[in-house]
Amino acid sequence: MRARVALVAVAALTVLAAAGCSGDSSPLPGRPSASAGPAPTGAAAVDVSCRPRASLKPAGALPAPGRMPAGSYMAEIYKRGRLVLGTSQDTLLFSSRNPFTGKVEGFDVDMGRQIAQAIFDDPDKIQIKVIAYDKRVSSAVDGSVDLVADTMTANCARWKDVDFSSIYYEAGQKVLVAKGSKATSINDLGGKKVCSARGSTSYDNIGKVPAKPIPVARPGFGDCLVAFQQNEVDAISTDDTILVGLAAQDPYAKVVGRRFTDEPYGMAMNKQHPEFTRFVNAVLAKNRANGTWKSTYERWLGDFGPAPQPPAAEYKG
């Protein structure tokens, strides 16, 4: 039965790029990658050189749409006539391509659309640029996108290369297994093959589990789902938000266990434009207060329960 489901997934993936998901340990050009080879084993040092949840404080009230401050990056975006958003197209519920309309949509896409709304008074003045999973940091750095909203964990390692918005979603890593599996957590998968996206911190984290599951890398989580359905791997592990979307595509899969990591999502931007980061944070603050965040959650994730309180903003000046 799982093999038959796999045929459907394979067909769907022919129109999907490998992208999406949580942590991103891919480097900028010229830097070594933590995920270039086998996943690390044992405890690894965590970079605590910053407060990863703390972003730049909004600079007062938001300017009116269409009236961006002269010389600001927002004014440059307005003059161009569109906001360029980098995201994936295969992270169901967060940023995935609608097979009927062809449009990329989801919770992350709506985060970007809300920034476009604040700049243009029109959420449709946005260009969706599908970026490879391991290009999210470099896409923000090289300016090929204005903003990355792609289930991306804010951490100190990435803060060295990009600025992050305040946290807009709280996730954590879990594991997906077959419904008939007796595993109740990743700790029950010692010696079993567990798939995650190449270049992801999710992949790195599998190698740190004391039970020693075997990490298996695929270009994206859609590819992991196909490998799982074809019995090439025993499980998939990444953020619970992504696993929920994968489980929704496979009636023979289930998500088990408690979160064994914390993955606070932020939107990534080029460090050369701190005024844009402050502007994005002002939009997020407004939308937390006026109920927009809650309604966005209910639209995309409401089937999984009532909307929680949005993550509280933390600022560093």
Spell out the alpha helix ranges (H) of 150-291.
Answer: 156-159, 201-206, 221-229, 240-247, 274-290
* pLDDT beyond 80 at 129: yes
Instruction: Confirm if 24 and 200 have CB atoms less than 8 A apart.
Output: yes
Please report, for residues 29, 85, 87, 204, 243, the alpha-carbon distance to residue 114 in angstroms, rounded to integers and kept in the order given. Answer: 31, 11, 15, 32, 25
pLDDT digit string (tens) for 42-61?
Answer: 444 567 789 999 999 999 89
Please state, in angstroms and rounded to a whole number, the distance separating the CA atoms of residues 265 and 254.
23
Write down all domains in the chain, each with its CATH number in brackets. 54-170+265-312 (3.40.190.10), 173-256 (3.40.190.10)
Indicate whether this model's pTM tops 0.95.
Answer: no
What does DSSP say about strands 163-164 and 90-91: parallel, antiparallel, or unpaired? unpaired
Range 150-163 average pLDDT: 93
Q: What is the pLDDT of residue 211?
A: 96
Range 130-156 average pLDDT: 92
Please state, in angstroms and rounded to a whole number, the distance separating the CA atoms of residues 196 and 173.
11
- Could you tell me which residue, 26 or 148, shows the higher pLDDT? 148
- Could you tell me which residue, 304 or 97, shows the higher pLDDT? 97
For residue 128, which of 175, 160, 94, 170 has the smallest C-alpha distance? 94
Tokens of 257: 């266990």
Tracing tokens 């999973």 back to the chain, one arrives at 133
Q: What is the pLDDT of residue 164?
A: 98
Return the minimum-mean-pLDDT range out of 27-31, 207-211, 226-230: 27-31
Q: What is the pLDDT of residue 179?
A: 96
| Size of the chain, expressed as the number of residues it contains | 317
* pLDDT beyond 60 at 215: yes
